[in-house]
């Protein structure tokens, strides 16, 4: 019974993530989520109080993944390795569950437009930016980057590249994550290594 219950809950979450990515948070309805998950509305209500509750659970899951990826990446030696490891970890996560990256980018857009002011969304985006601030600061202290750079500005630039690469990999690639979308990130890192930064 417990395994079936958890499988149903997971099916609902994955269906909700797909519907939110396709339609946006505001347009996603409980009925659409229930239909996509193959469950009745009462079953959906048994597991989740509201659409906002589902969204908050999805945001908490992605926050947990980001924090884990960032912690692993920070143990790597050097800025290039840290950025590569972070992006590769997220790529692997997106291969396992195809809409992870699309959901992350869609949530960022929804939050930015003020369409959903979830605290969970703010924590997700803060996790990305905190990681970038930390690794750029560490790179300056190690002498990998000049001491006169503005760490916050460089971290913001890397964040813009992160979100852009996420949008590219999540929405612009017609073949989704079946091919090596992390190649885009590797090329960006290579450009930085050759003096772009």
| 3 state SS for the chain | CHHHHHHHHHHHHHHHHHHHHHHCCCCCCHHHHHHHHCCCHHHHHHHCCCHHHHHHHHHHHHHHHHHHHHHHHHCCCCHHHHHHHHHHHHHHHHHHCCCHHHHHHHHHHHHHCCCCCCHHHHHHHHHHHHHHHHHHHHHHHHCCCCCCCCHHHHHHHHHHHHHHHHHHHHHHCCCCCCCCCHHHHHHHHHHHHHHHC
Above pLDDT 90, what percent of the chain?
52
pLDDT tens per residue across span 11-26: 999 999 999 999 988 8
pLDDT tens per residue across span 32-44: 999 999 999 999 9
| Mean pLDDT, rounded, for 89-116 | 76
CB count within 10 Å of CB 108 equals: 18
pLDDT tens per residue across span 39-74: 999 999 999 999 999 999 999 999 999 999 999 999
Residue 99: the pLDDT is: 78
- pLDDT confidence band for 178 (50 / 70 / 90): very low
- Residue whose structure tokens are 């930390």: 134
For the question of whether the overall pTM of this predicted structure is more than 0.85, the answer is: no
């Amino acid at each position: 019974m417990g395994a079936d219950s958890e499988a149903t809950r997971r099916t609902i979450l994955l269906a909700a993530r797909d519907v939110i990515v396709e339609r946006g948070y505001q347009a996603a309805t409980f009925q659409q989520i229930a239909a996509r998950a193959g469950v009745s509305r009462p079953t959906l209500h048994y597991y989740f109080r509201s659409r906002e509750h589902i969204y908050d659970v999805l945001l908490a899951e992605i926050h947990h993944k980001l924090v884990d990826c960032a912690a692993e990446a920070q143990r790597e030696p050097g800025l290039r390795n840290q950025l590569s490891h972070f992006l590769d970890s997220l790529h692997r996560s997106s291969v396992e569950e195809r809409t992870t990256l699309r959901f992350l980018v869609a949530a960022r857009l929804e939050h930015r437009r003020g369409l959903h002011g979830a605290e969970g969304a703010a924590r997700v985006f803060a996790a990305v930016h905190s990681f970038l601030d930390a690794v750029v600061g560490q790179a300056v202290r190690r002498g990998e980057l000049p001491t006169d750079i503005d760490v916050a500005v460089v971290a913001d630039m890397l964040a813009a590249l992160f979100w852009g690469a996420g949008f590219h990999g999540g929405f612009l690639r017609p073949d989704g994550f079946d091919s090596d979308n992390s190649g885009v990130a590797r090329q960006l890192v290579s450009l930085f290594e050759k003096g772009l930064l």
